[in-house]
Amino acid sequence: MRKFITSIPARFAILSFGLFFAFSLIARIALIITAHAELGFGPALFGAFAIGFLYDFAAGIFAAAPWLLLGILLPEKLLAKAWAQWVLAALTVLYSGILVFITTAEWFFWDEFSARFNFIAVDYLIWTQEVWGNISESYPMGVIIPAIVLLAALIVWGMKRAGLFGFLKKGAPTTLRHRAIGLAVLLIVPFLTNRLLSQSAIPAFTNQYNTEIAKNGCWAFFAAFRQMELDYSRWYITLPEKEALSTAKGLLVTENETAASPSPTDLTRTITANTGAEKQWNVILVCMESLSGSYMGYVGNEEDRRPTPVLDRLAGESIFFENLYATGTRTVRGMEALTLNLPPTPGQAIIYRPEGTNLKTTFGPFLDRGYDCGFFYGGDGRFDFMNRYFSTAGCRIMDANAWEKKDTTFKTSWGACDEDLFNKTISEADKNHAAGKPFHFFCMTTSNHRPYDFPAGRIDLPSHDRTAAIKYADFSIGDLIEKASKKPWFANTIFVIVADHCASSAGKEDIDVTKYRIPGMIYNPALVGKQKVTRLASQIDVMPTVFGLMGWSHQTLGYGHDQLAPTAASLPERAFVSNYQKIAMITPETMTILKPNSKHSSYELYLPTGEITPMSREKERISPFLHDTTAYYQSASWLFNSGKLKRN
């Protein structure tokens, strides 16, 4: 074995491993410098560094494997040839360039998400058209790519000057035994490394930023790729199935939301309206990209800094959800909450999953009443499988592929600007009104998304800035309301305006609840009076409240509640939040987080600031929240996995 270490295959592996490890160290140091204001220093940072070294080592083994294989297969005499040296140098430039690119990408990814590579990065690799366009519009790739190539070439030149290519040639003679040992190492070591280490084995530091620093970006990427879906029953705390279902059923039933059957496995509820005759209002739901509540005045943003004058005005004229929380950190998660009304199942949103088709959604009651339902999106709705989800739920797909060329006046890689989206929505509403057909449209905006570009001359700020993009999105909402108010169908139409998620979800805590607070409002002063819903509410409660306002009796498998029902005051105040692997329920005073490997954390919560304090063991023991949180999430996952959510 000692002679094998000096053989050419081993030297190939050692050199490639060293390069990978060096770049991993550089990346970690760069991210520490970037996040120094948020990190916990002292022993916590030392621990994160130590664990990071372990995962860098593990990832380096996989990075070195192709080089070890090359050394095993390469005839020794070939290395002496000049052309072979040039090929080896070119391969090393390519390898170094990939490492420089990954390090650069990690820095930009951290700048956007304050995290190492995760399932979002996996999505970005899958949906290359939108993402590469977004990257090229957001960053000077014409400078960055040549700089990466140049730096990689300089690294290889420096290696050659240092004699490292001679190091590769001057190893001990490579015997058949050496090749056999190398092959055994290639087959056994990566396998054992993968078996012994998993992403979930990284300890959860008190400061979440330290947990991210402890990760290796490449290892985290492939871990996310392998775990796009998380089986609740395998990874999380569970109750006996009957207990989970009966508990959830008991928590969901209210005076006017009764169980549709006595069966413990039937969570269907019959919603009985309390407002007399049904109203056949049109409903336009605008799901606004990345609109954190912190941008608006109701959360305390100073008036001269608010980029949302229109939304602030509309909030005062609407039924406004003052304490509304998003269920997750992705657009598809917000769509899921608004249309399925379920707590977020762990892993990817249901919309993204292969079985996330033909489901019972909030479109059902509209379709039953003869409404035209449509999904409006200024980009390609195949992204994140949105078209698949909405079309099988009974919606017309009105993404950019269904538009005429003249409908788009300005677009980025994500799609047409918000004005174009709303103009198309108004045009289709005109057609429905002329045909005497009521409508429910779900509109997804894109302008408040990097690269934050929009038509010139609309607002007093230049584009390519998030605050400016928010102000443009706000302007577009005002333009929608102004144009719609001149239409004959406006008098019979309510506008539901709600964010999909916040602009940022990263925080020092396991889950920072302040990064989930979003605005939500139901607008049309002629139909609904202005009112504030001050109770803690979830995204999943928005559409049930709309149904209540319209006086619609119906059946549902959703977990949302009408926050304006006469019985609303007796409902438990709760909201569901998640960040892919961690799923939680919050109340005005507590937060219970469920984590993989059947772990959990219970906290006392001061909701206005998001400050949390670990709950004492005694208080946790007598608290019902861990049991209830488990029942909610376990039953919701069971509904999906058992096929109960499928339309008949």
Structural domain count of the chain: 2
Asked if residue 170 and residue 252 are part of one domain, the reply reads: no
- pLDDT of 3 reads 62
- Whether 209 and 353 share a structural domain: no
Instruction: Report the SS3 class of residue 542.
Output: helix
**466 lies in the same domain as 410:** yes
CA-based Rg of the chain, rounded to a whole angstrom? Answer: 28
Query: Residue 117: which domain range?
Result: 2-226
Which of 196, 226, 256 terminates a domain? The answer is: 226
Rounded (10°) CA dihedral 338, 341, 343, 347: -60
SS3 category, 615: coil
Confidence class for position 109, pLDDT limits 50, 70, 90: confident
User: 217 and 306: one domain?
Assistant: no
Are both 221 and 256 inside the same structural domain?
A: no
In a domain, 579, yes or no: no
- Boundary-marking domain end, from 166, 193, 226: 226
Which amino acid type is present at position 173? Answer: P
Q: Does residue 222 surpass a pLDDT of 90?
A: no
Same domain, 485 and 409: yes
Query: What's residue 115's pLDDT?
Result: 81
Nearest to 576 by CA among 564, 563, 562, 594: 594
Tell whether 529 is covered by a domain.
no
Residues 434 and 465 placed together within one structural domain of the fold: yes
* Together in a domain, 335 and 482: yes
Could you tell me if residue 582 is inside a domain? no
Does one domain contain both 138 and 285? no
CATH number for position 415: 3.40.720.10
Report if residue 600 sits inside a domain.
no
Pairing between β-strand 282-288 and β-strand 590-595 as defined by DSSP bridges? unpaired
pLDDT of residue 167: 58
**277 inside domain:** yes
Q: In whole angstroms, how far apart are CA 426 and each of 89, 142, 402, 455? A: 60, 39, 15, 19
In terms of domains, do 220 and 264 share one? no
Clarify whether residues 7 and 131 are in a common domain: yes
List the structure tokens of 406: 């003249």
pLDDT band of residue 532 (cuts 50, 70, 90) is very high
Q: Tens digit of pLDDT for each residue in 394-448?
A: 999 999 999 999 999 999 988 999 999 999 999 999 999 999 999 999 999 999 9
Lowest mean pLDDT among 215-224, 469-478, 526-535, 609-618: 215-224
Q: Are residues 256 and 162 in the same domain?
A: no
Which of 604, 597, 536 lies closest to 230, judged by CA?
597
Q: What is the pLDDT of residue 126?
A: 59
Joined tokens for residue 497: 């305006």
Q: What is the pLDDT at residue 228?
A: 61
In a domain, 241, yes or no: no
Last residue of some domain: 173, 196, 226? 226
Residue 509: inside a domain: yes
C-alpha to C-alpha distance for 415 and 421, rounded to whole angstroms: 9
Residue 584 has pLDDT above 80, yes or no: yes
Q: How far apart are the C-alpha atoms of 134 and 505, rounded to whole Å?
A: 20
Q: Is residue 171 part of a domain?
A: yes
Residue 229 has pLDDT above 80, yes or no: no
Q: Which of 11-15, 57-61, 362-366 has the highest mean pLDDT?
A: 362-366
- State the pLDDT at residue 502: 93
Alpha helices (H) in 269-323, listed in sequence order: 309-315
**Residue 282 pLDDT greater than 70, yes or no:** yes
Report the pLDDT value the prediction gives residue 458, as an integer from 0 to 100: 96
The per-residue pLDDT for range 533-563, each reduced to its tens digit, is 999 999 999 999 999 999 999 999 999 999 9
pLDDT band at 587 (very low <50, low <70, confident <90, very high): very high
How far apart are the C-alpha atoms of 272 and 277, rounded to whole Å? Answer: 12
Tell me the pLDDT band of 507, cut-offs 50, 70 and 90. low
Query: Quick one: CA dihedral 305, 311, 316, 320, positive or negative?
Result: negative
Express each pLDDT in 329-342 by its tens digit: 999 999 999 999 99
pLDDT tens digit sequence for 118-161: 766 776 665 555 566 666 667 777 888 889 899 999 988 888 78
